[in-house]
Structure 1
Amino acid sequence: MEMKDCRFYEAQYPEPEEFVVVKVRQIADMGAYVQLEEYGNIEGMVLLSELSRRRIRSVQKLIRVGKKEVVVVLRVDKDKGYIDLSKRRVTPEEAAKCEEKYQKSKAVHSIMKHVAKKVNVDLEELYKSFGWPLYKKYGHAYDAFKLSLSDPGAVFDEFNLPADVLEDLVFNIKRRLTPQPVKIRADVEVSCYGYQGVDAIKKALKAGEDCSTEEVPIKVKLIAPPMYVLTTNSLNKTAGTEVMEKAISVIEETIKSEEGGEFVVKMRPKAVSEHEEKELADLIARVERENAEVSGDEYDSNADD
């Protein structure tokens, strides 16, 4: 079945002062023609005077064909289908908020579109049956979908959906919206040239590991003295980063309380990509090969397991 364009929301047109994400289709003398994906790709226009608060020297530097922009609706003529938009009246804060809503709506639309195609039903009819009602009830269908991860019945039972629709819907929501762990890493240098030496380093690193929580377990591994890496996997990036920052502070405080203790943060906690993790693993493997004999100041949390 051919999948025609369908708006994300029940309203056919946006309201004045509403923020929307548009895709630039064409640049003309008067301004830019754009498509409103959230409203079934209907056309709108951003007039030249509404592109920027500054003097426009080059339209191409402000807006490009194919690029997505956050704009605010100025006027809507539903009879003629005219939608006037402005880019210059959007603040960075408003743009960020609109982008967040758009990404949530796009995720919902992707799931709805997949289900409609799989069970061979009209996408708009699917929205009418439960998609748009969820927007009304929960503020956003995305929030309803997230809630259904733990209790599908509480969200969907009232709609009496056909078994095949419900099964594919629940499957796709779980596959696409189940949170994935984020790998967070920090690199530090820990050394101690005082009497306690190695024991002081082990004590400091152990104190850092002890900052672990059930949701944010921290592991410390030696790269090459005095460099150590702290890692964790967390479903909550913000919480994971906060716990890692606390661990770093504890390590610094502990090692500096010892005579000759020194501490340097080489990389603050941040989410890392698979590529970065592979680079780290390759580095550790190379160092291990080069240092077959373990030095006296090594600390590896796995050694005590």
Structure 2
Amino acid sequence: MKFTGWPEKGDLVVGEVDEIADFGVFVDLEEYEDKRGLVHVSEVASGWIKNIRDHVNTGERVVAKVLDIDESSQQIDLSLKDVNDHQRSDKIQEWKNERKADNWMTIAFGEDVSDEKYSGVATELLAGFGTMYDGFEQAAIHGHEALEDVDLTDDEVDAVVEAARENVSVPYVNVTGYVDLECPSPDGVDAIRDALQSAEGNGEVPEEVELSVSYVGSPEYRITVKAPDYKTAERELEASAERAAGRIGEVGGTGAYHRERHTDEE
């Protein structure tokens, strides 16, 4: 997706070096339609520049900072030296992500999607998530629920979710915790089995979360959670242990949650 408007002063933009002159570098902006900026020789690099071509090459992709904009004269002043390595890396990754999202939009709505349709959906994703990429990623993780507050039609939501689920590689994290379960009653084995089933969720675990419980050594059981982020993973891990402890407590047993595995010396 290319923006039809203008960047704002202070923005970081991705561009391709189009022309090099003694006084500066002309850069075609990748994210904006028909927009070209100028990096004055003094903004190419810090210090004295003997030969500008020692610092940039024609066709090179660069990240620049917008210093000033004059719409009346169609001029955008840029700086390369004001962008550090971390900013450059982050901006390039963001640009690559949006190119992926642009492809997902085509998958969702077809190659012949109208500009009006594309712009309408893209605008809503940008408003709701900051970037189209984040919108698709959240749709892949949370499905229709992620788009509940986004002003899209049901058909548009279906298309975004389907494309996201089939094409977005969702990052996941894994966390592990332990729960000790003990029950002195004659039917203690059955009680512990029920508690473990409760730990596994009984349908309460969110769709985007994978949770499993395994035996370590009496009375210890391992709970492993795979989730899209640490906050969700930790929440579901603790909830699983609480379900198990609550269930075993109902029949006179005890349950204790801990993060580290017990050792033989303990």
Could you state the TM-score of these two structures normalised by the residue count of structure 1?
Answer: 0.50
Counterparts of 2:76 and 2:16, CA distance in 1:
14
1:20 paired to 2:13: yes
The answer to whether 1:176 aligns with 2:167 is: yes
Q: Does 1:121 align with 2:141?
A: no
Q: Does 1:110 pair with 2:100? A: no
1:144 is matched by which residue type in structure 2?
G
Tell me what 2:200 maps to: none
Q: CA deviation at 1:94?
A: 2.2
Tell me the equivalent position of 1:68.
Answer: 61
**Equivalent position SS for 2:82:** coil
Offset at 1:18? Answer: 0.8
Sort the Cα spacing of 1:33 and 1:115 in 2 relative to 1 into closer, same or farther, 3 A: farther
Query: What is aligned with 1:44?
Result: 37
Deviation for aligned residue 1:84: 0.8
Do the aligned partners of 1:135 and 1:141 also contact (CA within 8 Å) in 2?
yes
Pair 55,176 (structure 1): closer, same or farther in 2 beyond 3 Å: farther
Q: CA deviation at 1:13?
A: 0.7
The answer on whether the counterparts of 1:112 and 1:126 sit within 8 Å (CA) in structure 2 is no
Distance 1:64 1:159, change over 3 A: same
Structure 2 residue aligned with 1:148, among 124, 139, 144?
139
Cα displacement (A) at 1:116: 5.0
2:128 to 119, 124, 137: 137
CA-based RMSD of the aligned residues comes to 3.2
State the shift of 1:86 in Å. Answer: 0.5
Gap regions ≥5 residues in structure 1: 1-5, 182-212, 217-234, 237-305
Q: Deviations over 1:183-237 (max 9, x none)?
A: xxxxxxxxxxxxxxxxxxxxxxxxxxxxxx9589xxxxxxxxxxxxxxxxxx99x
Matches of 2:128 and 2:154, distance apart in 1: 21
Structure 2: stretches of 5+ with no match in the other structure: 173-222, 230-266
- 1:7 equivalenced with 2:22 (yes/no): no
CA distance in 1, matches of 2:37, 2:61: 13
2:11–2:65 Cα contact (<8 Å) kept? yes
Q: Using a 3 Å threshold, how does the CA distance of structure 1 residues 13 and 114 change in structure 2: closer, same or farther?
A: farther
- The Cα of 1:70 is off from its aligned counterpart by 0.9
**Residues 256-300 of structure 1 deviation map (CA, whole Å, 9 limit, x = unaligned):** xxxxxxxxxxxxxxxxxxxxxxxxxxxxxxxxxxxxxxxxxxxxx
Query: Residue 100 of structure 1 aligns with which residue?
Result: 93
- The count of aligned residue pairs is 180
Q: Give CA-to-partner distance per residue, 1:127-170, whole Å, 9 cap, x none.
A: 4322122212222222221111133322445544474x555543
The question of whether the paired residues in 1 share the 8 Å contact of 2:144 and 2:161 is answered with: no
Distance 1:68 1:162 in 2: 39
Q: Percent identity?
A: 23
Whole-Å Cα distance in 2 between the matches of residues 99 and 25 of structure 1?
A: 18
Aligned counterparts of 2:32 and 2:168: Cα–Cα separation in 1: 23
> Counterparts of 1:41 and 1:166 in 2: how far apart (Å)?
31
Report what 1:248 is aligned to.
none
Asked whether the 8 Å contact 1:18–1:73 carries over to 2, the reply is yes
Corresponding letter in the other structure for 1:48: V
For 2:142 and 2:84, the matched residues in 1 are separated by: 38
The 2-side partners of 1:21 and 1:109 are apart by: 16
Taking a change above 3 Å as real, the CA distance of residues 156 and 214 of structure 1, as seen in their structure-2 partners, is: closer
Contact persistence 1:7–1:41 (CA under 8 A):
no
- Paired with 1:129 and 1:44, the residues of 2 have a C-alpha distance of 28
